[in-house]
Amino acid sequence: MRKKKCTVLDCRGLVIFASRHIIQVKVEPIAVKRPTILVLGAGYGGLSTVVNLQKSLGTDEAEVILVNKNDYHYESTWLHEAAAGTLSPEQVRYDISRVIKKDKVTFVKAEVRSIDVNGKTVGTTAGDFTYDYLVIALGFEGETFGIPGLDKYALSIANVNAARQIREHIEYQFATWSTEDVKADSRLTIIVGGAGFTGIEFLGELGDRIPKLCEEFDVPADKVKVLCVEAAPMVLPGFDPELVDYAVRQLKSKGIEFSIGTPVVEATPEGVKLKKGEDEFEFIEAGTVVWAAGVRGNRLIEETGIENMRARVKVDKDLRAPGYSDVFIVGDCALMINEEANRPYPPTAQIAMQQGDMCANNIIALMKQQPTSPFVPDLKGSIASLGSSDAIGVAFGKKMTGAKASFMKKMVDNRALYLIGGAPLTIKKGKFDFL
């Protein structure tokens, strides 16, 4: 009855009916064993793998399971902004449910506890999972190189929670200084350990943030000290020296001090001890110590038995773990050598996302008994921000500084959002403050 009515009255009615009809007569396929693809981690690498899998796979071709500690993804390359307090933590993350298709991917909010690559089982706080293909995309952890006290007394820009804690810690120090009768000026000293990418970007944000903190908490600007300490004899290794000079000059103009070639040998509740010479040490009191000097892969890697260096695995060209044809590793836990430069590619979001893309392709190839493809990074450049309106870097083969570089940096950030979440997410969480 209804069918007739619809066809007569409205051509759109037919479509509605047709779709209903399909659902009604749909014959369930004979249950065949679909392969289970288990993806651990929803960072750049893991989420990129899942998004590319769901693009290419039909609903019934595989069981894709994504396991992540939080129900959100965060932009780990933006965490220094949340840590400095220049960007809200909310702006740094988005719900995983926004980017996965529920009919193709099952999301499990759980923490991974163990990975058994021989028994093909992953233990999590939500139970054990078996797999046909495993993608390990568990990201980085901070590396303190065994320096005593750092684990306990230094903060690290490791995730959203940690970044928030740094912001709150600094604000609390400023607030407390203002209430003290006898003022401990060292509360207002912030030591940043490391003059690499993260350290420099964090210093850039602090340069923007400190004047605002001084105003908010009635702290005279000359009481605040921000000091970057670095063991290596240089700032931003790998960057063009001209760009490095620019960066250091700009940061110094914002009052940031540098102590280069001076390793931290100990951290205490009061500050850090620096090695200034052969037998020469200096203790610097500081209310806040942020350690941004090293990263390593996830510790669970070390328990798998797969050969690794600081929990990073030198993966095969197709991104598989050597000796395990069903285990892929992408992102910061994967180590690949840049043969031109004869050193590892840095653990960047750019490479992690490209790896996710290739990892998805290679899993699908294996499912179809086709050969896998080698992963070749497509390096588009690297830009380090120096606060909200300044940056340095190389993009499309060109060196750039200042407002132009800052604009490019924001475009790079927006691109990461776009690649995983498309336009709506980019508009919601992207950076458009250059307008």
**For binding to its own copies (CB under 8 A), which residues are involved?**
70, 89-90, 160-162, 164-165, 167-169, 171-172, 174-176, 178-179, 216-218
CA distance 121 to 159: 26
- Nearest approach, Cβ of 141 to its own copies (angstroms)? 12
CB of 215 or CB of 282, closer to its own copies = 215
Q: C-beta of 287: minimal distance to its own copies in Å?
A: 12
Closer to its own copies by CB, 155 or 284: give it: 155
CA distances from 91 to 75, 161, 198, 420, 428 (A): 9, 13, 19, 16, 9
Which of 90/242 has CB closer to its own copies? 90
Q: Least separation, in Å, of the C-beta of 306 and its own copies?
A: 24
List, by residue number, the catalytic residues: 201
Q: What are phi and psi of 362, to 5 degrees?
A: -70, -35
DSSP 312: B
Give the span between the Cα atoms of 19 and 171, in whole angstroms. 57
Q: Which is nearer to its own copies, 162 or 365 (CB)?
A: 162
Minimum CB separation from its own copies for residue 355, in Å?
Answer: 28
Transcribe 10-29 into DSSP letters: -HHHHHHHHHHHHHHHPPPP
For residue 100, the minimal CB distance to its own copies (Å) is 20
Tokens matching residue 39: 């993806």
Strand, coil or helix: 134? strand
Name residue 77's amino acid: T
Do 354 and 375 form a contact (C-beta atoms < 8 A)?
yes
b vs e for 180-210, b when ≥16 Cβ sit within 10 Å of the residue's Cβ? eeeeebbbbbbbbbbbbbbbbbbbbbbbbbb
- Shortest approach of its own copies to residue 3 CB, angstroms? 49
Nearer to its own copies, 17 or 72 (CB): 72
Residue with tokens 């009061």: 270
DSSP for residue 192: E
H-type alpha helices, 254-344: none
User: Is the CB of 168 or the CB of 245 nearer to its own copies?
Assistant: 168
